[in-house]
Chains A and B, each alone.
Chain A
């Protein structure tokens, strides 16, 4: 594509320096845009090939060109370390990612200028609204798995802040909302837990959270709310003196794709969109077979990611319009002063540089599901059946005491 710029007609225009400079510029831009993203994609490929350790080694090499993808390296490491059972390492990466997002609140003029002249790949990746929320979701899981309930509650409060910032885009993340309620309930913050469950009941229907609402309303002293939600309780609701909570991740989140519109003036408008890829809700059953979940709350990550990108659409359109107008003005100015051949070369160069920012958090699952199983205290050796042809997935053996809530994370 770079060679195609060096057309004979351009050479005849007597401006060889312009053409070679344009070529250098495009080559430089391509190098800048490809280097680190390639490392992220390779790490993601290794991860999905079942080689998380190798993926981590690659991610540890980091972002070598100016830190534009620093956030992605941190969040990818967060998920890979979580998968490897290194929950402390996962926390370190994800807390660093959260701190980085705080820094993004200040708009950098140099960065904005770069993105307006070239494309959005020139900016530091700041994370979609959904991805910003999922940093807190994974931190909540990590802290709960480590038994650091105070810290899990801190993350629940930060997740609530994100949900309040972008309520329409994020309301379908039922997994994170249920996880937040669990963090509140774990530390006896009954009123906060009740409010989260009540909002879930409004959006999802009361049945999946009715048992929690009845229990919490009774403890807070709200008999009218107890009566309201009692009618939604299933008679066959399993009971137990302890609880196993499973964080079940399955599938993979869709990647962003570039959408393109090319106008007759050789003006290219490029925008990101998520490809359609649904991840089914896993049909889970357990061995021993008498174990039944009391609650299953699941998030279709693709749907939430799409909603979040949709919410940002206006911002993307405004930036795209400004960039197109700027490039058009530049091309016309060059054409007026240097002739049609040079204008064509510039238009081609600018068109090649217009590229949708398709960066995203690649190692996320397609679906996150919260499964709560009431248990009698004792020693357990559980196996999970996934409702397909794959064999049973054994959980490491565990003991559970009366009143205890035990957390485990699985991904398939």
Chain B
């Protein structure tokens, strides 16, 4: 009978292995926007907040924006993603723009809506809109400064050796530049970094 038991146990084992992953219950909890929740060495939403806060503070407290009396006009030309992750860098530039606007110290050209602005202008001058309510053409304001940047990452894995956990070191750096569109000079630049180490077990159930 022993062989029968062995075979039955093997069968049960195979079933358990096959069905594994079907067990467990889903749980949820609310997370505050300023709470740091980090699962691994990768880029997280709390990193974005830290990066944005640092950059906005630096932009508003240093030349040329610290002494600009006339709420200079800026245009954002995006942040290039040079990391090894599919990170939405437009989320970073959107948040920087929003915080700068809320500071009341600068204004922004809405570059992403240019096509829609053009379409609306064409409609207003297409014959359906009363002349006295049409907006004036050629009155848009040109940007004085251009905001651009690059997000980079360097990943370093622990060298191969006997161990039960794999350690990874992740380095992110965001560089931002403010370029004077008239002179072509970079008038402000800053960078901020996030460095994180994570370890993952090699063996699990």
For B19, the chain A residues whose CB sits under 8 A away are 66
Interface residues of A in 300-359 (CB under 8 A from B): 330, 334, 337-338, 342, 346
Interface residues of B in 131-175 (CB under 8 A from A): 155, 166
Contact call A32/B18, Cβ cutoff below 8 A: yes
Contact call B203/A109, Cβ cutoff below 8 A: yes
Per the bound structure, the CA–CA distance linking A330 and B81 in Å amounts to 56
Kindly state whether residue A236 has any CB partner on chain B within 8 Å.
no
Contact call A153/B14, Cβ cutoff below 8 A: no
Tell me whether A337 and B2 are in contact in the complex, defined as CB-CB below 8 angstroms, given that A106-B202, A154-B81, A157-B84 are known contacts.
yes
Interface string of B1-32 (1 = CB under 8 A from A): 11110111011011111111110000000000
Per the bound structure, the CA–CA distance linking A110 and B19 in Å amounts to 11
Contact call A67/B21, Cβ cutoff below 8 A: yes
For A161, the chain B residues whose CB sits under 8 A away are 84, 155
For B1, the chain A residues whose CB sits under 8 A away are 15, 17-18
Contact call A105/B202, Cβ cutoff below 8 A: yes
Kindly state whether residue A28 has any CB partner on chain B within 8 Å.
yes
B: residues with CB less than 8 A from A are 1-4, 6-8, 10-11, 13-22, 80-86, 89, 155, 166, 200-205
Name the residue of chain A whose CB is nearest to the CB of B81. Answer: A150
For A153, the chain B residues whose CB sits under 8 A away are 81-82
Contact call A21/B84, Cβ cutoff below 8 A: no
Kindly state whether residue A189 has any CB partner on chain B within 8 Å.
yes
Kindly state whether residue A145 has any CB partner on chain B within 8 Å.
no
In the complex, identify which listed stretch (A112-120, A280-288, A395-403) lies at the interface while the others stay far away.
A112-120
Contact for A106 among B21, B86, B204, CB less than 8 A: B204
Contact call B17/A122, Cβ cutoff below 8 A: yes
> Closest CB of chain A to B38's CB: distance in Å?
16
Per the bound structure, the CA–CA distance linking A32 and B14 in Å amounts to 9
Interface of B is mostly: mixed
Per the bound structure, the CA–CA distance linking A63 and B202 in Å amounts to 26
Tell me whether A110 and B205 are in contact in the complex, defined as CB-CB below 8 angstroms, given that A66-B20, A150-B80, A158-B84 are known contacts.
yes
Tell me whether A109 and B202 are in contact in the complex, defined as CB-CB below 8 angstroms, given that A66-B21, A114-B14 are known contacts.
no
> Closest CB of chain B to A318's CB: distance in Å?
16
Contacts A110-B20, A337-B2 known; list 4 others, CB within 8 Å: A66-B18, A109-B205, A118-B10, A330-B6
Contact call A28/B14, Cβ cutoff below 8 A: yes
Name the residue of chain B whose CB is nearest to the CB of A17. Answer: B4
For A82, the chain B residues whose CB sits under 8 A away are none
Kindly state whether residue A22 has any CB partner on chain B within 8 Å.
yes
For A189, the chain B residues whose CB sits under 8 A away are 82
Interface residues of A in 6-63 (CB under 8 A from B): 15, 17-18, 21-22, 24-25, 28-29, 32
Contact call B83/A154, Cβ cutoff below 8 A: yes
Per the bound structure, the CA–CA distance linking A43 and B85 in Å amounts to 31
Name the residue of chain B whose CB is nearest to the CB of A114. Answer: B17
Contact call B18/A68, Cβ cutoff below 8 A: yes
Would you list 10 pairs from A and B whose C-beta atoms are within 8 A, ordered by A residue?
A: A17-B4, A18-B3, A18-B4, A22-B3, A25-B8, A114-B14, A150-B89, A158-B84, A161-B84, A334-B2
Kindly state whether residue A410 has any CB partner on chain B within 8 Å.
no
Name the residue of chain A whose CB is nearest to the CB of B5. Answer: A21
Per the bound structure, the CA–CA distance linking A157 and B203 in Å amounts to 27
Chain B CB within 10 Å, residue with most, of A68, A95, A108, A161: A108
Kindly state whether residue A187 has any CB partner on chain B within 8 Å.
yes
For A157, the chain B residues whose CB sits under 8 A away are 83-84
Tell me whether A154 and B84 are in contact in the complex, defined as CB-CB below 8 angstroms, given that A109-B205, A122-B17 are known contacts.
yes
Name the residue of chain B whose CB is nearest to the CB of A109. Answer: B205
Contact for A117 among B13, B80, B166, B200, CB less than 8 A: B13
Contact call A118/B80, Cβ cutoff below 8 A: no
Contact for A18 among B7, B89, B201, B202, CB less than 8 A: B7
Name the residue of chain A whose CB is nearest to the CB of B79. Answer: A150
For B16, the chain A residues whose CB sits under 8 A away are 110
Contact call B204/A154, Cβ cutoff below 8 A: no
For B82, the chain A residues whose CB sits under 8 A away are 153, 189
Tell me whether A334 and B3 are in contact in the complex, defined as CB-CB below 8 angstroms, given that A66-B18, A106-B200, A106-B202 are known contacts.
yes
Which are the 9 A-B pairs with shortest beta-carbon distances?
Answer: A66-B18, A114-B17, A21-B7, A18-B3, A106-B204, A157-B84, A150-B81, A17-B4, A21-B4
Name the residue of chain A whose CB is nearest to the CB of B18. Answer: A66
Tell me whether A154 and B86 are in contact in the complex, defined as CB-CB below 8 angstroms, given that A15-B4, A109-B204 are known contacts.
yes
Kindly state whether residue A111 has any CB partner on chain B within 8 Å.
yes
For B17, the chain A residues whose CB sits under 8 A away are 66, 110-111, 113-114, 122
Name the residue of chain A whose CB is nearest to the CB of B85. Answer: A154
Kindly state whether residue A84 has any CB partner on chain B within 8 Å.
no
Per the bound structure, the CA–CA distance linking A158 and B83 in Å amounts to 10
Kindly state whether residue A65 has any CB partner on chain B within 8 Å.
yes
For A95, the chain B residues whose CB sits under 8 A away are 86
Per the bound structure, the CA–CA distance linking A346 and B83 in Å amounts to 54
Contact for A15 among B3, B22, B85, CB less than 8 A: B3
Per the bound structure, the CA–CA distance linking A21 and B20 in Å amounts to 23
For B80, the chain A residues whose CB sits under 8 A away are 150, 187
> Closest CB of chain B to A334's CB: distance in Å?
5
